[in-house]
Amino acid sequence: MHLQKYEKIPRATIARLAVYVQELEVMEQQGIKVISSEKLAWSCGVNPSQIRKDLAYFGEFGVRGVGYYVYELREAIKQSLGLDRTWNVVMVGVGNLGRALLRHQLLRKRGFVIVAAFDCDPFKIGEEIAGIEVQCSSKLPQSTIDMGVEIGIITTPPERAQRAANYLIEGGIKGIVNFAPSRITAPENVVVEYVDFIHNLFSVAFNITQHQIKGLL
Amino acid sequence: MHLQKYEKIPRATIARLAVYVQELEVMEQQGIKVISSEKLAWSCGVNPSQIRKDLAYFGEFGVRGVGYYVYELREAIKQSLGLDRTWNVVMVGVGNLGRALLRHQLLRKRGFVIVAAFDCDPFKIGEEIAGIEVQCSSKLPQSTIDMGVEIGIITTPPERAQRAANYLIEGGIKGIVNFAPSRITAPENVVVEYVDFIHNLFSVAFNITQHQIKGLL
């Protein structure tokens, strides 16, 4: 099992790999050493052929007639995703969502450590949340350069997301996760991901509507 | 433009439709009445053929040589997604994330109204957040039946997500959006969506790593 020079991996595969890591960790905690692809698939809510297809991007996994070794598979996926290390993260926008993320224990558990938080509201600057002092946004670029931070999280209101992105880009950030419900523009070498849970609500509403239409037919 | 008896729509299409609605609303606020598919595509971060393909699931949109009528397209997408109405939502788990969502203005703006919040922590019961009083989780099933609520949001710790789901199912809920990082089991007629922003961080980390590997080659 080794890191390959892989090509484009579908986004949906990355999302599923995140689920696999999560479920493998639960199994490890339960003392499970080996898991069949059927059982792993079931607990991840996918079918076994999907798991095999997803893992095939990264190399050969699993032993015929045995299944997957829980620890080895988890480590291999983490290595493949660049998660066998810690990533320092800065946050811009300390509103309700920003506060919830600062206090979220899963981020750190997954290797993402928020090292600084910024906001332009003078009432928030100086406040300490989960051990992190909120700093003035204008200090962001120099601060991220000094700390060598690679990932920025935007949790500002939508109308301030682009300004936040500009600060992050100026600070040499390589990837942005934007929780604000607005598109941002960034240079090609900066990776941008959008988190939008509204679309999950849309999807539920859509599927309920579909069920109801079918029920009427 | 009318609602069709559509078949399976890819999840990615639903997610993009959510982005189209969002961008069309921004355009409407800016007083834009007509938009070319190129401009709409650009502002949504997709290519024009993708938009045409996504919309084709729902009917005929756009006028050759003109583009899309902003208001009409937005309304048509909303109708297609079952968003031309309000959805009552209940929340289980009033931690940091739950509080952030209760205070989130976008949910209501998009037609999802949180009408009740539940938690099993006696220190939280009775507390009022964004005008909603936290109630004891044991009251959930009867309460959702009485109010005719169709969607439930789970924001509990992972180990309590299934119990929350059981309450919701008992309460006749038709769809669940699970923010807790654990899988839940539900009957086939209950729609389940998982929100996991960790996978967006995974994706950014993976892509930064890829860029760095390429830079070294």
Q: B181: which chain A residues are within 8 Å (Cβ-Cβ)?
A: 22, 106
Question: A183 vs B137, which has greater pLDDT?
Answer: B137
Q: Which domains does chain A have, with CATH numbers?
A: 11-80 (1.10.10.10), 87-198 (3.40.50.720)
Q: Convert the pLDDT of each residue in A150-206 to its tens digit.
A: 999 999 998 999 999 999 999 999 999 999 988 899 999 999 998 888 888 888 988
Q: Does A30 touch chain B (CB under 8 A)?
A: no
pLDDT at A216 over 90: no
Q: Tokens standing for B67?
A: 């583009």
In the numeric block, the tokens 């109308």 are attached to: A159
Give the pLDDT score at A33.
93
> Is residue B87 pLDDT above 90, yes or no?
yes
Mean pLDDT confidence for A130-150: 95
B5 pLDDT exceeds 50?
Answer: no
Whole-number mean pLDDT of chain A? Answer: 88
Q: What ipTM was assigned to the predicted interfaces of this complex?
A: 0.82
Nearest chain B alpha carbon to A18: B199
- pLDDT value, residue B70: 94
pLDDT of residue A6 exceeding 60, the answer is: no
- CA-to-CA separations, A214 to A116, A150, B153, in angstroms, rounded: 50, 48, 24
The candidate with the shortest Cα–Cα distance to B72, out of B58, B93, B57, B91, is: B58
Q: Please name the member of B176, B179, B213 whose beta carbon is closest to the beta carbon of A5.
A: B213
Q: Do A193 and B203 touch (CB under 8 A)?
A: yes
Over the stretch B21-38, which tens digit does the pLDDT of each residue have? 888 988 998 999 999 988
| DSSP states along B80-144 | HTT-SS-EEEEEE--SHHHHHHHH-HHHHHTTEEEEEEEES-TTTTT-EETTEEEEEGGGHHHHH
Residue A3 — very low, low, confident or very high, per pLDDT cuts 50/70/90? very low
Please tell me which of the candidates B12, B198, B205 has its beta carbon nearest to residue A82. Answer: B205
- Count the neighbouring beta carbons within 10 Å of the beta carbon of residue B178: 27
Residue B58: predicted pLDDT: 80
Q: Which residues of A touch B81 (CB under 8 A)?
A: 202, 205-206, 209
pLDDT of residue A14: 83
Q: Which of B12, B14, B202 sits opposite A18 (nearest CB)?
A: B202
- Per-residue pLDDT at B6 exceeds 70: no
pLDDT given for residue B45 in this prediction = 82
- Radius of gyration for the alpha carbons in chain B, expressed in angstroms and rounded: 20
pLDDT at A57 > cutoff 90:
no
d(CA B11, CA A12): 10
User: What does pTM read for this prediction?
Assistant: 0.80
What is the dihedral angle through the alpha carbons of A39, A41, A42, A43, rounded to the nearest 10 degrees? 90
Q: What is the pLDDT of residue A80?
A: 83
Q: Distance from CA of residue A159 to its chain's centroid?
A: 23
**Mean pLDDT of the region A74-94:** 90
**For residue A196, which residues of chain B lie inside 8 Å, CB to CB?**
15, 18-19, 22
Question: Cα torsion at A89, A95, A96, A101 (round to 10°)?
Answer: 0
How is A55-124 classified by DSSP, letter by letter? Answer: HHTT----BTTTBEEHHHHHHHHHHHTT-SS-EEEEEE--SHHHHHHHT-HHHHHTTEEEEEEEES-TTT
pLDDT in tens, B151-207: 999 999 989 999 999 999 999 999 999 999 888 999 999 999 988 888 888 889 888
Interface of B with A in 74-113 (CB under 8 A): 80-83, 87, 89, 95-97, 99-100, 103-104, 106-107, 110-112
Most confident of A17-21, A103-107, B114-118: B114-118
Band of residue A142 on the pLDDT scale cut at 50, 70, 90: very high
Which residues in chain B (116-145) have CB-CB distances under 8 A to chain A? none
Q: With an 8 Å Cβ cutoff, is B67 touching chain A?
A: no
Touching A: B residues 151-190, CB under 8 Å: 151, 174-177, 179, 181-183, 189
User: Where are the alpha helices (H) located in chain B, listed in sequence order?
Assistant: 11-29, 37-44, 48-56, 70-80, 96-103, 105-109, 140-147, 161-170, 198-216
Q: Which of A147-156, A208-217, B34-43 has the lowest mean pLDDT?
A: A208-217
pLDDT tens profile A104-115: 888 888 889 999
Angle between helices B161-170 and B140-147 (to 10 degrees): 40
User: What local confidence, expressed as pLDDT, does residue A1 receive?
Assistant: 36
Q: What does pLDDT average to over chain B?
A: 88
Residue among B125, B133, B127, B118 nearest B173 (CA): B118
> Residue B109: its pLDDT value, please?
84
Is there a contact between B205 and A81 if contact means CB atoms under 8 Å apart?
A: yes
> Six-digit token pair at A95?
């509103």
**Nearest-Cα residue of chain B relative to residue A213:** B5
Alpha-carbon distance of B178 to B192, in angstroms, equals: 7
Q: How confident is the model at residue A89 (pLDDT cuts 50, 70, 90)?
A: very high
Query: Which amino acid is present at B122?
Result: P
Q: What is the pLDDT of residue A7?
A: 56
Out of A2-11, A23-32, A77-86, A151-160, the most confident range is A151-160
A181: Cβ contacts below 8 Å, ≥ 6 apart: A158, A196, A198, B22, B106
Q: How many CA atoms lie within 13 A of B40 on its CB side?
A: 29
| Spatial separation of the C-alpha atoms in residues B129 and B141, rounded to whole Å | 21
How far apart are the C-alpha atoms of A159 and A113, rounded to whole Å? 26
